Structure 1
Amino acid sequence: MSTIASLDRIGVGIDTARYGHRVSFLRPDRKPAAKPLTVMENRAGYQALQDRLNQLHEQHPTAHFHVRIDAAGQYAVNLELFLRGLNLPMTISVGEPKRNKDYQKAHFPKRTTDDTESQAMARFAVVELPKATPPTAPALLLLHEVAGRLQAKVKQSTQAINRLHNLLARAFPELATLTEDLTTG
């Protein structure tokens, strides 16, 4: 059984969210390596995470961090880029939310908090030792951002057309019998 003095790895599970990420730290024996941490999506939050990781690295200099991040949107991307920039022994894996949720339900079936989700990801990282997710190329990050904005504009246009159709149907109901598609003229 591992002891605190001889940790070779630490599982770090991160449940990402818009206003704050929940981070859990587990030893190989599945006991906490440190208290869970809420990381806000700002400089102070990221600094708190870096400080905690540095503190753990000082306490356990031979330990390798196995980080599992929930891939839930732009916040996960920000966090991943930040973690990849740290000079610490670290393997980062990014998992799909459904797969992470299924793992959490299998190992913690009666608990559904953010703490539980980050604990499940930390457990997955330290027990299953998933392969590292390769870093995303900067050009693909930019393309992803452009595609996201385009998708938002398409959604916005669809909503505007639907509002127009609704307004026309209420103001001029017989228009629907005169033309099938308003966009063709």
Structure 2
Amino acid sequence: MAAIQTTGLTKRFGDVVAVRDLNLQVNEGEVFGFLGPNGCGKSTTINMLMDYIRPTDGTATVLGYDAQNETQAIHERIGILPDATDLYGRLSGRKHIQFAIDSKGTNEDADDILERVGLSADDASRSAGGYSKGMRQRLVLGMALVGDPDLLILDEPSSGLDPHGVREMRQIIQREADRGT
């Protein structure tokens, strides 16, 4: 089964065509990335898959669910790292993860998730306002991993990271794919 399937997916904003006739299939177990310059429609496509915005034309399915009519079922099975995520600067990394756990009603261990994304116990105890860009990205990825999602959608997961941080993010993503996400 395809994890993501689009047929003729199009989004217009007035006279601007952000996405034109996108036919795409991403298979389960596949690590797939959109590459392209700023403004070419990558985030717009993700926003249509998540039903944050509606397509002008075409269809999309995520994990076999219609992206515009079965949104709740999709959101229950995915984890998302949006392009711009604000953190509560005064809360620790551990409290951010615990908030995500409580919100999703799971019984996961926050420290296990923090370890999966490479944040140490000392880092987890610090307030997120003092985190580097890479640490913030890892924390938000950890929040996306809560609930053991079937699919991760990551918008610009390595944006602003140095080469070492990019390599580490790719390794984390590959490990999650190997786990079945």
**TM-score for both structures, normalised by structure 2:** 0.26
**TM-score for both structures, normalised by structure 1:** 0.26
Q: Which has the higher helix share?
A: 1
